A and B are shown apart, each in its own frame.
Chain A
Amino acid sequence: MGPNLPASFNRRRLLAAMGLGAAAVGSAPLLAACGGGSSGVSGDSGGSGGSGSKPTISQWYHQYGEAGTQQAVMRYAKAYPDATVKVQWTPGDYTSKLNSGLLSSSGPDVFESSVNIDQVKSNQVVDMTDVIGDLKSDYTEADLKSCTVDGKIYGVKIVDDMGVLYYRKSLLSKAGIQPPTTIDELISASQELTTSNQKGLFIGNDAGVTPSFGGGSLLGPILWTVGSDYLTADNKVGFTSNEVMQSFEKMRQLFNTKSILLGAPTDWWDPSSFTQGLAAMQWCGLWAMPGIQKALGDDFGVVAWPKFSSTVGKPSTFAGGWTSMVSAKAKDVEAAKAFTKWLWIDNTADQEDFNLSYGFHIPPRKSLAAKATKLQSGPAADALKIFNDYAIASNTAWTAKMNSAYADAATAIVRQGGDVESNLNKAAKVVDSELQRLFG
């Protein structure tokens, strides 16, 4: 045994050293390891698999909260005659999973996201201008803007989303107040509607300023309420004006009234807090309206996010939603484009079903939106009017890194009482260097 001992000791030491090394630098493989998890629910919609020469297309969605949506997209996929479409339905952190998926060859072929200049610049997505073709005029200016980089269209809008401020009519009339039209009115309404078991307003568990898990709902409205935007029309920093600073001070004032709901079991994009009486008003998406109607009947109304004051700013909402894009790493780019065209441009019946049968969205094709009877009466019609009058299109040049820096500033200001000017300037520096990187 004598001669063996040092040898086995060396091996053991080698392994121990490697193990210790691995433990100590365990943080490094994080980058490679994340996103590989199997959190997605994958469903084979292509029948029993014996599809012969038909190409296979992998299509990724985030998890829509409304019941029936997942079954619907599986149904559309199955109905496509020219390829076997596998739908991946992704609960949880869809963005991260998608981002790492797009880096690998095992990612999606067709996916929903929103067009971003970095994806275009690094050739992750393909030009879809020819897919839309002559139908360009059937999309709103805002939708085209949010999909266009350097004159080329990189995606097809599949749903248009917007936010509205839902309020309980009965609670407001009991308190003798009108739906808020300015930020000051909103703050005082929120305070007056607060009781021991109900808060006045719900804008998200993050107070609307920390963008994780779909949070950060008010990062845009804080700017839009005074008529500003993240970036100016000529792509300069848009959030360092005096008006914006005043708007941030108002947001902090709202936070400090302790009249906003925080720590609710669900976040702003889910209507449960509103329907269960945890808050009298909630900033939420149009998508939630069917659920709210079912729970509250007629006892609710909607308004846009209020303008700053009677003289400054204007009402606003976001023009959000999802865009179908094709990965440059798709196994068969042409087949993926053909499927996108079939489902999201030609197949108006499925588009209408997808936009209006589960949650409420606005069909991006104008001809379809005009026909949508469900959006022509009651609060849904009010919402559609808000969308047409006040929706702010997203800017493809506003990158995730800019958003992180801006949101860090917003979080520090609103939630921690940090200095408005210095925090915004810190964020502006990051945004400036990003703009420099993108546009030189």
Chain B
Amino acid sequence: MATSTVDAPAVPARPASSARRRRGGRISGVTGAFWLFVGPFLIGLLVFVYLPIVWSVVLSFNRAQNTVTPSAFIGLQNYIDLLKPGPFLDSLITFTIFAAFIVPVTFALSIGLALLLNRIRFARAFFRSVFFLPTACSYVVASLVWKLSIFNGVRFGLANTVLSWFGVPNVAWLATTSPPLYWIVIVSARLWLQVGFYMILFLAGLQRISPELYEAAEVDGAKRGWQTFRFVTFPQLRATSVAVLLLLLIAAYQAFDEFFNLLGNASFARPPLVYLYYTAQGDQDYGHGSAGAVILALLIMIVTLAQGRIFGFGKAAE
């Protein structure tokens, strides 16, 4: 492009070329193709995502008992009700603690797995697939397997069978609240389902690190192992790490499937979304349900933006 404009006078060339582009068939073809490909997705997004969001926001300012047609405007009352000490705040607090635990653990495990897999010399594709496969498994199916076969509370559950070899009596994993053994079930199911996916993200990040950096580090006397990881690998994974952290945090606040299927409406470990689900679908109180959804959405957005500020999400890698 640069060479073609060198010979011609610069001033008339640009309007001519841009006018041709605007009116010419090629560009409208590109635009047409753009809308052809993006249009259906955009319409779907508008109808099935944005419209319901707007609808939820409208509902959240109304009393909507057994109806999704807003009729009685009550201002911020739904929000005030939810933000008073009560089950919704309890669930937010529980899940902030949950997030503080599950996010670093998932992060560390997936980066660890990725590092191991990156070093492996044989059967790479096999191991990658094996660790990634659980991602393809439905949360519901996994929850049922965990609940009914691995961690059921009777003698023929896998965990109890293994423990019985050592003379440990049957443990009711999901029903035991002190100590809260149900977390073992939930956390193991969640890790099994999620670690593979984030591991793949880290693997992709690892493979983009140029080998020259490692050579230079070695020349400079960096020891293999921790030092190389600390000063070369980890900084180079910054963009991936920030993205993974963000996704993990959103995923933690949106926890629903495994909690719903494993514990139902148990107040001792009820994620905000499960509470809102029962509020809206169970109690038929769509006003409070929507207000809760808006609060949660705002919370996730604030955390995301704050995280973006702190870690520079979306900025080009330096």
Which residues on the A side are within 8 Å of B65 (C-beta)? 118, 121-122, 437
B3 within 8 A of A: no
Quote the shortest CB–CB distance from A31 to chain B (angstroms): 5
Contact A404 B154 (CB under 8 A): no
State whether the Cβ of B73 lies closer than 8 Å to any Cβ in chain A. Answer: no
Contact A210 B265 (CB under 8 A): yes
Q: Counting CB contacts under 8 A, is A27 at the interface? A: yes
Query: Is the CB of B172 closer than 8 A to any CB of chain A?
Result: yes
Write the A251-267 contact mask toward B (1 if CB under 8 angstroms, else 0).
Answer: 00000000001111100
Residues from chain A with Cβ under 8 Å of B18 in the complex: 3
Q: Which residues of A contact B280 (CB under 8 A)?
A: 31, 34
User: Does B264 lie within 8 Å of A33, measured CB to CB?
Assistant: no
Query: Does A23 touch B at the CB level, under 8 Å?
Result: yes
Cβ contacts B256-286/A at 8 Å (1 or 0 each): 1000000011111000110011111111111
CA gap between A262 and B169 in the complex, in Å: 13
Determine the chain B residues whose CB is within 8 A of the CB of A310 once the complex forms.
none
Cβ–Cβ contact B154 & A28, under 8 A = no
Chain A residues with Cβ under 8 A from B1's Cβ? 1-2
B49 sits at the interface (CB 8 A): yes
Measured CB to CB, the nearest residue on chain B to A438 is: B65
Nearest chain A CB to B101 CB, angstrom units: 20
A99 within 8 A of B: yes
Task: Render A388-409 as a binary contact track against B, CB cut-off 8 A, 1 for contact.
Answer: 0000000000011100100110
Pairwise interchain contact B178-A416, C-beta atoms closer than 8 A? yes
Q: Which residues of A lie under 8 Å from residue B170 when comparing CB positions?
A: 197
Q: Judge if A412 is at the interface, Cβ distance under 8 Å.
A: yes
Closest to B301 in A: A24
Interface pair B52/A32, CB less than 8 Å apart: yes
Nearest chain B CB to A11 CB, angstrom units: 7
Is B53 touching A28 in the complex (CB atoms < 8 A)? Answer: yes
In the bound complex, CA of A26 to CA of B285 (Å): 20
Q: Does B290 contact A (CB under 8 A)?
A: yes
**Contact (A411, B268) CB under 8 Å given A103-B68, A264-B154, A417-B178:** yes
Within the complex, which residue of A24, A119, A263 is in contact with B175, where a contact is CB–CB below 8 Å?
A: A263
Minimum C-beta distance from A399 to chain B (A): 7
* Residues of chain B with a CB closer than 8 A to A24's CB: 250, 297, 300-301, 304
Name the residue on A nearest B267 (C-beta): A408
Selected from A30, A100, A197, the residue in CB contact (under 8 A) with B276 is A30
For A20, A29, A197, A215, which residue has the most chain B Cβ atoms within 10 angstroms?
Answer: A29
State A197–B276 Cα separation when bound (angstroms). 39
B154 CB contacts on chain A under 8 angstroms: 261, 263-265, 278
* C-alpha spacing A121/B63, complex, angstroms: 13
- Chain B residues within 8 Å of chain A by Cβ, number: 68
Interface residues on A, range: 35 or more
CA distance A412 to B86 in the complex (A): 13
Q: Which of A1, A26, A118 has the most CB of B within 10 A?
A: A26
Cα distance A437–B157 when bound, in Å?
Answer: 47
**Per-position binary interface string of chain A over residues 214-226, scored 1 when its CB falls under 8 Å from any chain B CB and 0 otherwise:** 0100000000000
* Interchain CA distance A33-B51 in the complex, whole Å: 12
A122-B66, A122-B67, A264-B154 are known contacts. Are A207 and B175 too (CB-CB below 8 A)?
Answer: yes
Considering the complex, give the chain A residue whose CB is closest to the CB of B69.
Answer: A103
Q: Is the CB of A29 within 8 A of B265?
A: no
Known contacts A122-B65, A212-B264, A265-B148: does B282 contact A206 (CB below 8 Å)?
no
Residues of B contacting A210 with CB < 8 Å?
264-267
**B169 to chain A: which residues have CB within 8 Å?**
196
16 A–B contacts from the bound complex (CB under 8 Å):
A3-B18, A11-B38, A27-B300, A28-B57, A28-B294, A28-B297, A31-B59, A32-B56, A103-B68, A118-B66, A124-B66, A263-B152, A263-B154, A264-B152, A265-B154, A415-B175
A-B residue pairs, 10 tightest by C-beta: A263-B153, A212-B264, A262-B172, A262-B175, A32-B52, A25-B297, A122-B66, A263-B172, A212-B265, A96-B281
A residues neighboring B (CB under 8 Å)? 1-3, 11, 15, 18, 20, 22-35, 95-96, 99-100, 103, 118-119, 121-122, 124, 196-197, 205-207, 210-213, 215, 261-265, 278, 399-401, 404, 407-408, 411-412, 415-417, 437
Known: A27-B293, A31-B293, A205-B174. 6 other contacts (CB 8 A): A29-B49, A30-B276, A95-B282, A213-B264, A404-B279, A416-B177
